[in-house]
A and B are shown apart, each in its own frame.
Chain A
């Protein structure tokens, strides 16, 4: 074997070592509550969702394990037991994720599995969780289908579904543009984009039946090049453009459309826009309607809890937390509340999984964003209020701000407990309680 080949083999073997050595070191102290946290650590979904998600988990777990959480979260870890996270990449196919989930449960023996950004993965994992009788808390995925298609005993989701994002968007648009008569949409051609548009469209039809659509566009996910779409929108007569774009696609769309003057002509309502605000800064035009998939970051009204989360996050990472970070906070704090409630009921002894589940159902708890109540999905699906605002870049302080914020109560933008979201929207949103 030539020495050159040997050298190449050494390089390849070195890649193994480099790959291994560049992993973040996990805390070495043995901890009694193992939580498997699954989120996007690589790929295009890492920067907007996965990394803020993981960062929030790391910062919070560190703070909670030191007992530094503000009341009522001041117990160490979960009820005195430190949390030991194991982070997994949500990459690969649904089949890969199911295999990884099984590994987490049967090989690594985690106590709880928490995470999942992709709705497809959530839908694949939930039945497996049920079959394996493993307590699982779904985190960021937004599809309402989870608890609308099936009931689950072992699966929970503290964060509300994506329905309220688009109901809120429609309401805000109608509030701000009282004379709107035509609306457009540009959404990625996959489940997230399709569902977002459907919900927005249905809500607009419910609340403003005289409006019509013009030019509904469906670029491919991660297309990155929107010249034709922008030309189409420039020649449309819409007064608002709806988009559920996020991160790379959103930023590309903003750069390209600003260069061609589209936002000056037609404002956008960006249901997932908040994650890009810090990155875009002054490049995001003023006057855009921005959503954060809930009352997160700019909209957070959780008082001390919000101060705490922002501080530990900024101290550790030098960046502001964005909505995926707040959603992780809701998932983790919901679990903590349920765990400690079950433990208290037991007089301080460590609760079993069944006891945690019983405590978790229908629970209500405070988060840095707001108050969460697991009102839907037979006590397994959370609902919260939401909020929308208008973008304004503060040139003096050189930072993004949202003004003209409107909040919508939980019962106004989420379907009632026993109605599935599409039926609710098609039926005129009966039972909604707006003030």
Chain B
């Protein structure tokens, strides 16, 4: 199948009917078809050996950028492999914008950029913002920043990868038909994808200007806390979070310097989703 997520077109193929079914279900709201278009990235699943398609089937992935034979997964987890391979194409192969390992969300024409390592709670926060706090979901894993002094974030709203405890939290907040299959015993524990609201997908060509940067950290039962980062801290944090800034030369440097000069950045620590949302709310009120 061929589908478009934000500015990138992917060609996905799999000989495994289950993976195809999962993909079709999860990406049902995204623009599809696009025969007769040049696509950006190809990702194909194949059995690790022809025989093993039936005997303890394991899937490996071929793709344009560095993922030949990576992420071998059990056939039942094919969807997870596709999600990782898709991410890796953008992280390593896309360079029309600066790619950050970050979530993003918008209110009107302004956006928040949520930077953090895997496991920092980006996905959960991003899901809460869109399903509880009324933000427009722009992406939970990778954020795209255009070049130049007036840089804007372009939506790349992939299904949100919820893990472990956050699945139950979001089940209470989002409609049941927005959830993908429950994937148990993965390398990340239990994973379930949450399709962003339909409105986030239909507006995925509308960029927003970054107005606030936060780096969240979840720590069970601590009091909420916030701390303003210095500009150079923010620069370093964003530079490390970028997957392609190094290959972008001076334009990438300049854009990032402008960003940290113009947009305030904060570390936030929270112990509950209520605290997280109210911290973001407070900071957003001061952002311009």
Asked whether A and B interact, the reply is no
- Report B's interface with A, CB cutoff 8 A: none
A binding-site residues for B, Cβ under 8 Å: none
